[in-house]
Amino acid sequence: MQAVDFDVKQFVLSSSTFGPADVVQLQDAISQDFSRYAVLRDAVQELERVEDRSPAMSVRLGVCFYVLGRYEGAAMALKNGDGGALARFYQGRALFAREKYKDAIESYAAAQTAGYNADQCAIAKSEAQRYSGEHAAALATLDALSGAVEQTADYLYQRGATVSAIGGNPTEVAALYERAVEIDPNHAGALFGLATENDRRGNDAQAQQLYERAVNRFPANVGALLNLGVLYEDQEKFERAQQCYERILDAYPNHPRAKLYLRDARASRDMFFDEEAQKRQDRLSQVLSIPVTDFELSVRSRNCLQKMGINTLGDLTRVTELQLLGSKNFGETSLVEIREMLGSKGLDLGQFAHESRPAEPVYEDTSMSADEIASLERPIADLNLSVRARKCMVRLGIATIGELLRRTGDDLLECKNFGVTSLNEVREKLTTHAMKLRGD
C-alpha cells in the first residue's frame, strides 16, 4: 500500500500483523498529509480505551505512541508487548528518546536476538553510544559493518554524525550527509545534520529549507525544531516559531529551552510594534554606522580619531567635546571640523554620550604566552554554540573567543533573542576551556 493511500485509522485499530515497512509507511503517510496526524492521535486514543489488549495490540499501540513522540507511553506499552523483534527494537527507540542509552542498547541487542535486522540494530546501537559520549565505540560499531548497509542513508548519517562528534573534517561530514539525503531525500537525521552544517556557514536560506524538510518527519528531531524556531524568530515569524516549540513540548513537557523559547516567541508576537518608529530607528542606525573614513578629514583629525578607537559616526555621538579635546594634538580646529561632519548628517557631538560603555579591557600580548594568545584568536565556531547563541555572536560582531571574553553577561543579554539559557550555555562552553566572560 502506497503512503498516499494509507489508511491510518485502519492501521492503528487493525489486528493484522505488521512489520518495519508498515511503520515507515505510517510515517510517510503523516509526512505527506499532516491532517493524518490528528487521525493517528484520535485512533491511538481509541486503542488506549480497549480493555484487555493482547500483547500484539500493545506493540501496535507502543509503535504508534513512538511515532506521535509520546516516548514514555511507547516504552510502557512495548514493555507489555509480545517480546518480539519489532517490540524490542522500538522499545529501544523509545528508551533512546528518553536518554536511557544503556537500556536502549540492551533492547537493540534483544531485538537482534529475536530476529530484527542485525545491521539496523548495530546502527541504532552506534547512535546510542555516540549520545552517551562513547564516540570511539560508536565508530568501532560502524566500522564493523560492511556490504550493502554502507550505502544506506541510516549508515551514512550515523557515520557523518560520529565523525562530527569526534571533531573530524567538516567537509567529510557534509559529504556523508549529502550522500544520505541523495539516497533518502526524507531522512530526518541527515537533513538535520546537513541543515546544521549550512547553519554554521551562515547559509540561512538553505539551512531553513533543510530544517523544514527534517521536521516534516515524525517523530520530529528536537534539534531541528529548536533551530528552525530560532530562524523563524529572526524573520519575525513568531507564530511559526511558537508551533516549533510547542511540538517539542508535546513530547518533552519540561524541555527547558523549548519552554523559554516559547515564552519569548509569544511575548514577541504580542508585542506592540510601531512600524514608523522602527523605520526611523533603522535609518538612524544606518547613519550611525557610517565610517568616519568616508569623510574628507585632516590628517591630524583622522589620526586622533584612530588613536581614540573612534571608527563610526555613532562612536562620535557617544563622546563629548571635552573627551576629544583631551586627546593629544586635538584642538579647536579639529573640533570644528568634526562638528561640521556630524551636522551634515543631522547629528551632534556627544548626543548619545549617556549610552557610552566603559572601555573594554585590552589583552596585553606581551604578558601572555604564545598558547594563550592562540587560544584567544581561535574562531568562535570552536565553542560549538547553539544556533541562537551563534546568531547573537554574529549580531555583536564577535568573531573570536578573545572578543567574546571582553563582553559581560549583560552585554550578551542585550542582543535580540538571546536569553538566560543561551548565556548559561556560553558560560558552560567557556568553562570547559577554563575561561570566563568579563565580570564573571
The confidence score (pLDDT) of residue 368 equals: 67
- Sign, Cα dihedral of 113, 114, 115, 119: negative
Query: pLDDT digits over 406-438, tens only?
Result: 888 888 887 777 878 888 889 999 998 889 998
Q: Which residues contact 37 (CB under 8 A, 6 or more apart)?
A: 30, 68, 218
- Give the model's confidence band at 271: pLDDT under 50 very low, under 70 low, under 90 confident, else very high: low
- Give the model's confidence band at 277: pLDDT under 50 very low, under 70 low, under 90 confident, else very high: low
More confident residue, 7 or 439: 7
- Give the model's confidence band at 40: pLDDT under 50 very low, under 70 low, under 90 confident, else very high: very high
CB 47 within 8 A of CB 12: yes
Q: Which three cell numbers stand for residue 129?
A: 553510544
Q: Which residues contact 2 (CB under 8 A, 6 or more apart)?
A: 25
Kindly report which listed range (50-59, 186-195, 270-279, 377-386) carries the lowest average pLDDT score: 270-279
Mean per-residue pLDDT for 289-314?
A: 85
Query: pLDDT digits over 178-235, tens only?
Result: 999 999 999 999 999 999 988 888 888 999 999 999 999 999 899 999 999 999 988 8
CA distances from 118 to 10, 122, 125, 130 (A): 30, 6, 10, 18
Q: Kindly tell me if the per-residue pLDDT of 3 is higher than 60.
A: no
The confidence score (pLDDT) of residue 284 equals: 80
Query: pLDDT digits over 134-163, tens only?
Result: 999 999 999 999 999 999 999 999 999 999
Write down the pTM of the prediction.
0.67
The residue among 356, 360, 347 whose CA lies nearest residue 318 is: 356
Query: pLDDT digits over 169-180, tens only?
Result: 999 999 999 999
pLDDT, averaged across the chain: 88
Q: Kindly tell me if the per-residue pLDDT of 396 is higher than 90.
A: no
